[in-house]
Structure 1
Amino acid sequence: MGDEHNIVWGWIRNGSIPSHQVGKHLMVNVALLTCELLKKEWTP
């Protein structure tokens, strides 16, 4: 699971996942992420 942790941090640093700093914690904006994913057109 160590590799997945670094991958997710990369997504956050690149702005692929919306996040917000709250004190010393970095929170992922799950509501905005869900909204963005629903707006994308998916192709199988």
Structure 2
Amino acid sequence: MGNNVVVLGTQWGDEGKGKIVDLLTEDAKYVVRYQAVTMQATL
């Protein structure tokens, strides 16, 4: 069984996640990206 790596970004904008993911996934078979949409509602 392989390893799983999760990179979380909790800041706004680019915080260097791309470079870290690049380094950690050089030999990865799959890379999955998920981006949640922030819902802005006015009441």
TM-score by length of 2: 0.31
Identify, as 1 or 2, the structure richer in strand: 1
* Max Rg structure: 2
Identify, as 1 or 2, the structure richer in helix: 1
TM-score by length of 1: 0.30
